[in-house]
Structure 1
Amino acid sequence: MSAPVSVAKGAALVIAMRWTHRLIGLVSTLILARLLVPDDFGVVAQASLVVGLLDVLTDMGVASALIQNANATQRHYDTAWTIRLAQFSLASVAILLLAPTAGEYFGDARVVPVLQVMSLGLIVAGCENIGVVNFQKEMRFGLDFRFMFTKRLSGFLITVTLAILWESYWAMVAGAIGGRMVGVLVSYRMHPMRPRFSLAEFGSIFGFAQWMLVRNIGNYLNNNVHRLLVGGRGSTAQMGAYSLANDVAQMPGTEIISPLNRVLFPAFVRAKEDPEELNRLVLLALGVQALVAIPACVGLGAVAHEAVLVLLGEKWLSATAFIEILTLAYLVPSITSTPSYVLMSLGYVRLNAVVAWCQLVAFVSVAVLIMPTAGALEIAQIRLATVLVTLAGLLFVLVRTLPLMRWSSLLGVLFRPIAGAVCLVLAVDYVAALLPANPYVSLVAKVVIGALAYVLSVVALWWISGRPQGAESYLLSKLRSLRRARKKTS
């Protein structure tokens, strides 16, 4: 059994393993993009939106409730498992009933049988062992990774194998269900807990989870209403291009920030009784996330055209403009995730829910009421504008909630990464006209030049500022530690 680790080691471990995990997803996407066409992706994307919506409408966030409760007993785990199984079963029945309506909305009858099959996967997922939540709660991230990696790898192998054999979108459906079935089997093999049907602690779990449900619904709609609108207003092929662009655009931010959040959430919970330590941890987390996520997201947008040609092929060029905008839209959640998890760790789940729903109302007001005929590109631009407003709102809530937090501290950890990203874009735009037409050469050159421009500008600004303690000094200290460790082993 692996032992708990520190926040720093846990973050490094989970990020490294999450990138391995994401590599599987990236390879899968690239292979499927070559084997299938945008129309195939559109069918599955439309069905996945319906599945995800009904899933989140019944999701009470029982895993977060268990992590937040330091004194959870077996009765809590049994109750959480029972609630989750009921949730997935209810969502499965709802999908079966709404499948014909979804087919009419999207204007594609192929969505109906896909939804009917995908509904079965939810019941399978509901049977997963609730005990695996302890891998994250107890910061045993090695086991956490092994569990997630096994599920993803099995789904990848099934999907790619069937895509080669069938050359059909059904390969993606079968791969998703197959991965969930493997996940259930592995969950009981990896953790000894054997949950039983019980609602003994329903009241205590529901007290926390009811606002998690409201928050999760708001977050899901924020992340997917734009896709629902594109699916209803455009063709299936356009939906496929937009959906793939959305998946690609969120990779830089979410694949860096998601693993950090898995480490930071339990760490914030442990530090909530020490205001000074919590304030230090929040600023450091926000600084590190901004320092890495901002250039990753902005950089992808700067090389979107070449990246699409090299990785996906010419048939996906229509996704380029979407990627350029959506990468910036997904940059904001990568920054706001730290304030969200801080509020959650302190028990202010209601505030998180309010912020999420305010963003949703703002987006719907513009995209549906003010601009009812907006196309896919305009919808992406509206999404970017609304998430920027949300960023300001969450930072305001964070300053008001943490007694030691100051605006000057928040802006201090964000200024250098933002300035460095501006230098990155200017450098890439400057050299674009000098590069050859070959997309492979151009992509490599832009990535190298952009990375150098960002690193040099951030280091220069940090040095001019007097080398303050923060994300830069933290990362440099970790690099020095790694260098010393290598020298000792060599």
Structure 2
Amino acid sequence: MWSSLQTLIPTVSSVVVFVVSAKFLSPADFGLFGLASSLVITVAALTPVAFGEALVQRKSLTKAHTDSVFWLTFGFGVLCFLPFVLFATPLATAMGDVAIAAILPVLALRIPFDLAAAVPNAMIVRSMKFRLIALRTAVATIISVIICLSMLFAGYGYWALVGSQVAASIVACAMAYWVAGWKPGIALKWSALRDLFSYGVFASGNRMLATIKLDHLVLGIFGGTVMLGLFFFAQRLYNMLTQLVGGALSSVTLTLLSSMQDDQEKTAQAFGIASFVSAAVSMPMFCGLAITAPDLLDLLLDDKWADATFVLQAFCVAGVLAGIGVVQASLIQSQGKARWWFYYQLAQQCCAVFVILAMYRFGLATLMVALMAKSVLLWPVSVVMTARLLGRSPWHYLAGFKVPVAATLAMTIGMLAVPLVLPDLTQVARLASQLAVGGSIYVLLILHLSRDRITQLRRYLPKKEKTAS
């Protein structure tokens, strides 16, 4: 529950900032910021920040492990920041837009602060102090939102997005140390790093592939900032919703499944519960968004974002898979198979770059169809990996999603029927009716068809102790 709150706070805040900034900024502005951000994130993704996850996954931990990881990550952070200061203009020229030269050194301040927080964040997650994580996130989010909105209304344009991101990283780093109560020592022991090397390298690779923005770089360079701006706009909204579902589960399930990795029966049971919850939330959310996206974007934004509607609908296909994939990733990595997920993510990234290079000239709509087809065709690989770790057949694993799938299909039919049955509704009334009809159908069906699963879930909820009379 605390992990959900930790995810909900920045997601809701991001939606507010997102809608407000879309009023002040153009697709080209979003594209310019997206191009600079993609380069910074790509470089940051090459760092060993995920050695923090190795601290969470490892059964026994010493001070030498934490100190060594701190100096490793912080050292990489400083080294990765310096090129953005020294070579900002050549980098901007090579990317085809010299306007980002001023943005790069400022935005790159995120890198050393994010890496300096890797160890204290791992200590908090390892102890499962998710209430404190939520507190850290809330403070950092509130400060970044205030800075962003203030700069937007003051007329600073895309610099508002830059300032808010840097401020969020600085505050989150400071809060992580305060919440964790941890301080680094001066020792750097190679033997301690060797203990974490195998898992840490592949976990860093997974983090790299999950956060690297090669698709943005390629699309921005070849397709231009306007096409990238529309893509970035829709993908950011998709990422916020994915984080709302996956962010709450990923840190909890990785820690929990790591703690029971020697007990396959308990691991399978915990994984089944997490998978059901993730699918039961992500499937109706993204299907509902795909249906209502035209009315929703038309009401919230102006005409300059009209071309983003189909892009967002296409991302909803990936959202359904991503909601399930976040739990798959936790299982695979918790069982020490980080390299499996790394190679899967690598295949996804390489294929995405290939599709962009082959299809960008045919327009953004055609490109999105090709990208989603790629994601669907590669997804069975993750199913096979998951089923193997569970000791089940892929069909047995997929059968666990039949109830959310059935309820979502019924919800979709109900939502699509609203404008056919009531064609004279206003745009607002149509949107409200579709959400009400779809939500009612889904909730009733999921409660009816999943009675046994819900009963099982209720057994794990904490109960208040009765006081003695």
Normalising by structure 1, what TM-score? 0.87
Structure 1 residues 202, 359: closer, same or farther in 2, change over 3 A?
same
Q: In structure 2, how many angstroms separate the alpha carbons of the residues matched to 1:134 and 1:383? A: 37
Query: Of 396, 400, 403, which aligns to 1:416?
Result: 403
Superposition map of 1:173-188 within 5 A: 173-188=162-177
Q: In structure 2, how many angstroms separate the alpha carbons of the residues matched to 1:279 and 1:129? A: 29
For the pair 1:430 / 2:420, whether they are aligned, the reply is no
SS of 1:142's partner is helix
SS of 1:110's partner is helix
Structure 1 residues 98, 412: closer, same or farther in 2, change over 3 A?
farther
Q: Which amino acid aligns with 2:371?
A: R
SS of 2:187's partner is coil
Structure 1 residues 32, 346: closer, same or farther in 2, change over 3 A?
same
Structure 1 residues 387, 330: closer, same or farther in 2, change over 3 A?
same
CA shift for structure 1 position 253: 2.7
CA shift for structure 1 position 264: 0.8
For the pair 1:136 / 2:125, whether they are aligned, the reply is yes
CA shift for structure 1 position 458: 3.7
Partner of 2:44: 55
Q: In structure 2, how many angstroms separate the alpha carbons of the residues matched to 1:401 and 1:94? A: 42
Query: Of 146, 151, 156, which aligns to 1:157?
Result: 146
Partner of 1:214: 205
Listed as ranges, the gaps of 5+ residues in structure 1 are 1-11
Partner of 2:69: 80
Q: In structure 2, how many angstroms separate the alpha carbons of the residues matched to 1:238 and 1:216? A: 26
* 1:308–1:314 contact (8 Å) kept in structure 2: no
Moved more, 21-30 or 91-100: 91-100
Partner of 2:337: 348
Q: In structure 2, how many angstroms separate the alpha carbons of the residues matched to 1:74 and 1:451? A: 50
Q: In structure 2, how many angstroms separate the alpha carbons of the residues matched to 1:188 and 1:350? A: 30
Moved more, 64-73 or 232-241: 232-241
Partner of 1:306: 295
Partner of 1:7: none
Q: Which amino acid aligns with 1:422?
A: L
What CA deviation, in whole Å up to 9, does each residue of 1:342-364 have, x standing for no partner?
A: 11111111111121122233334
* 1:36–1:167 contact (8 Å) kept in structure 2: no
Superposition map of 1:396-407 within 5 A: 396-403=384-391, 405-407=392-394
Partner of 1:281: 270
CA shift for structure 1 position 318: 1.7
* 1:367–1:374 contact (8 Å) kept in structure 2: no
Q: Which amino acid aligns with 1:402?
A: L
What CA deviation, in whole Å up to 9, does each residue of 1:62-111 have, x standing for no partner?
A: 21011011211121111111111122122213434664455345532211
Structure 1 residues 114, 478: closer, same or farther in 2, change over 3 A?
farther
Q: In structure 2, how many angstroms separate the alpha carbons of the residues matched to 1:211 and 1:334? A: 22
Query: Of 103, 109, 113, which aligns to 2:98?
Result: 109
Structure 1 residues 316, 74: closer, same or farther in 2, change over 3 A?
same
* 1:233–1:375 contact (8 Å) kept in structure 2: no
Partner of 1:203: 194
CA shift for structure 1 position 453: 2.6
Partner of 1:9: none
Moved more, 96-105 or 110-119: 96-105
Q: In structure 2, how many angstroms separate the alpha carbons of the residues matched to 1:137 and 1:426? A: 43
Q: In structure 2, how many angstroms separate the alpha carbons of the residues matched to 1:68 and 1:374? A: 45
Q: In structure 2, how many angstroms separate the alpha carbons of the residues matched to 1:129 and 1:217? A: 14
* 1:81–1:130 contact (8 Å) kept in structure 2: yes
Query: Of 215, 224, 227, which aligns to 1:226?
Result: 215
Partner of 1:441: 429
Identity of aligned residues (%): 19
Structure 1 residues 210, 374: closer, same or farther in 2, change over 3 A?
farther
Partner of 2:283: 294
* 1:50–1:102 contact (8 Å) kept in structure 2: no
CA shift for structure 1 position 308: 0.7
Query: Of 260, 264, 273, which aligns to 1:271?
Result: 260
Q: In structure 1, how many angstroms separate the alpha carbons of the residues matched to 2:197 and 2:257? A: 22
Partner of 2:364: 376
SS of 1:157's partner is helix
Partner of 1:5: none
* 1:39–1:236 contact (8 Å) kept in structure 2: yes
What CA deviation, in whole Å up to 9, does each residue of 1:275-324 have, x standing for no partner?
A: 11111111111111111111011111111011112223333222111100
Q: Which amino acid aligns with 2:59?
A: A
Q: In structure 2, how many angstroms separate the alpha carbons of the residues matched to 1:231 and 1:33? A: 19
Partner of 1:454: 442
* 2:51–2:204 contact (8 Å) kept in structure 1: no
What CA deviation, in whole Å up to 9, does each residue of 1:164-209 have, x standing for no partner?
A: 1124111111121122222233233333211134321222222321
RMSD over equivalenced CA pairs, Å:
2.5
Q: In structure 2, how many angstroms separate the alpha carbons of the residues matched to 1:230 and 1:438? A: 37
Q: Which amino acid aligns with 2:2?
A: L
Partner of 1:93: 82
SS of 1:231's partner is helix
Structure 1 residues 132, 251: closer, same or farther in 2, change over 3 A?
closer
CA shift for structure 1 position 394: 0.9
* 1:63–1:133 contact (8 Å) kept in structure 2: yes
CA shift for structure 1 position 436: 4.5
Tell me the matched-pair count: 462
SS of 1:252's partner is helix
* 1:250–1:326 contact (8 Å) kept in structure 2: no
Moved more, 36-45 or 255-264: 36-45
Query: Of 17, 20, 30, which aligns to 2:9?
Result: 20
Superposition map of 1:234-249 within 5 A: 234-249=223-238
Structure 1 residues 89, 374: closer, same or farther in 2, change over 3 A?
farther
SS of 2:109's partner is helix
Q: In structure 2, how many angstroms separate the alpha carbons of the residues matched to 1:413 and 1:104? A: 51
